[in-house]
Each structure stands twice: as structure tokens, then as C-alpha cells.
Amino acid sequence: MADGIANFLTPGELHKLGRLTLLSRYVVEGNLAGAHKSPQKGSSSEFADHRAYFPGDDPKHIDWKVLGRTDRYFIRRYEDETNLRVYLIVDRSGSMGYGSEKTTKYDYACRLAAAIGYVVVKARDSVGLFLHSDKIDVRMDGGNSFLHLNNLLKRVQSTPCGSQTDLPKVMHQVAEDIRKRALVVVISDLFGTPEEVALAFAHFRKLRHDVIVFHVLDPMEIDLGFRKGAQFVDMETQETINVDPRSLAPSYQRVFAEFLEQYRNACASMNVDYRMVRTDQPVDTFVRAYLEERRRLSR
């Protein structure tokens, strides 16, 4: 059995993802030089602004033209460019273990995390991981090497689905953990209380993180397409309910649509990039389409 990234993505899929980049819509604080805008002033060729000269500043940064016009010393400052730090927050709660076909939502989330991680590392940006159920189970700091990515994915591979979930609490913890501005990628079925989860997202945004939410759902969860009446067992609470899905489907879909709409509205209001992902959609196709669109919108 393959380990690491090879367990989640085939060479063909990796090839397709190779040329893609994940750009942040906001400035990020990295610790290495990179291709992303930094809040710091640095040494790039992009002019930022002037500031008054203080003793100790490098005289080569004095703007001599301004000195000639105003007879005052000003220092030219340039934009700093840094690397992107991406944190993958993957939900491993019990509900993520559901899959109407062979692939469970957790499998799909892992593959999606691998694909995003690969794209990030390929662009020499760093990627970190938070794996959680009702608490943070796995935490890995950012790294920009494939070795790091491979180790990260090995941890994911070795961690199965949990049982309970407390998404808002975990999100708040993660938000407190990430000190510098980064790109936060939440991969979850978001089966928490939408209002509370939205508060957690707001926490991220308050800390000026760029947030992407991948709402992973199974087609059966969306449409309730079961044909026969059955006793449905909640995978987290083990509660049961007897229903005839065919007669209940219209009501169910209305309820579920309201649920989605709540997330969608909350994310839109906070500038959180909300995307719904169906587990019957190929991962590489989705990631490719998503990143292409994101790149197009960031121009």
C-alpha cells in the first residue's frame, strides 16, 4: 500500500495539478521570500511609499530627487514579497465517515487536502495541518518541502474518522493557534450549528486570515435519494429514525437547502470563499476548476 501523497493522488492527477497555484486574496505573513504580498516593506522592485530618514538607515535608500526638491531626507520603501502559509483544517468527525458509494466524505476530504497541499508545496509555499474531531487531534506546522507534505499526509492516512464533533470550538482553537496571517482551508461537512460555525469563521477573518471553506457533501445527503423506507442511524449520536425517504425527500431538501443557504450567506458576508464539493466529483477536476477560477478572479 502506498504511503503519503501516492496514497491519495495518482500520478495522472498530480500531473494535472502541477501547473496550478493557490493565491491568497489578501496579504500574508510568511517567513520566507515568496510570490505573495507581505505586510512588511521589503526589497522587491515594487515601490510602496516614502518615510522620513532616521539615522542608521541605509543611505542608499535615500531618495535623492526628493532631497533635491524639498531639501529633506526621505527613504524610498518597497513592497515585501513573502511565501504563503496555508493551513488545512480537516474534519474527521463521525459524520465524515459517511459515503453512499465507496468513497466516504473523509476519504474525499483527505484527497482534497492532498491536492491542495501538493499545489501549495509545488509553488514553494508552506502547508500546515489541523486534523480534528471534537478537538484538535493532529497539528502540524507549515513546511514547504514535499517531504513535509508526505509526512503530513502520512499522518492523515494513519488517522481514521473519529466520532463526535464540535466544529466551532475547534475552529476557535485553530484561529488562536495561527498567529500570522495565512490562508486557512477548512474541509468539513459543517454539520454544526451554522451560526456558531460562522462565528468561528469570523474569528479567522478578524485575524485577517484568508479563509476557504470546502463544504464536502455526499449526493445522498443533498437529495435524500433513497428508494425504500428504512431506519436511519445517526453516525455520531447513534440516534435512529424511521422514515420513507421518497415521501420525505421534498421536505428534507427544503430543510437542507436552508442549511446550505445559511452557510452561503454567512460566508459571503465575511468574504469567506465558500465552495460546496460533492463526493461524486473527481478531486483533480474540482481543484483544477476552483484554482483556475480563483486565479482569474484575483487579477
Name the residues that contact other proteins, by CB under 8 A. 95-98, 105, 189, 191, 214-215, 218-219, 221-226, 228-236, 239-244, 246-261, 264, 275-278, 281, 285-286, 289-290, 292-293
Task: Quote the least distance from Cβ 160 to other proteins, whole Å.
Answer: 15
Task: Quote the least distance from Cβ 36 to other proteins, whole Å.
Answer: 21
Task: Quote the least distance from Cβ 266 to other proteins, whole Å.
Answer: 13
Asked whether 194 and 272 are in contact (CB, 8 A), the reply is: no
Asked whether 243 and 227 are in contact (CB, 8 A), the reply is: no
Task: Quote the least distance from Cβ 25 to other proteins, whole Å.
Answer: 15
CB of 69 or CB of 299, closer to other proteins? 299
Task: Quote the least distance from Cβ 261 to other proteins, whole Å.
Answer: 5
Beta bridge partners of 118: none
CB of 145 or CB of 253, closer to other proteins? 253
CB of 96 or CB of 171, closer to other proteins? 96
Q: For residues 266 and 233, give the distance between their C-alpha atoms in angstroms, rounded to a whole number.
A: 29
Asked whether 142 and 87 are in contact (CB, 8 A), the reply is: yes
Q: For residues 124 and 120, give the distance between their C-alpha atoms in angstroms, rounded to a whole number.
A: 7
In terms of phi and psi (left: phi > 0; alpha: psi -120 to 50; beta: otherwise), the region of 242 is beta
CB of 35 or CB of 220, closer to other proteins? 220
- Position 82, amino acid: T
Shortest CA distance to 284 belongs to which of 2, 20, 4, 7? 20
CB of 117 or CB of 192, closer to other proteins? 192
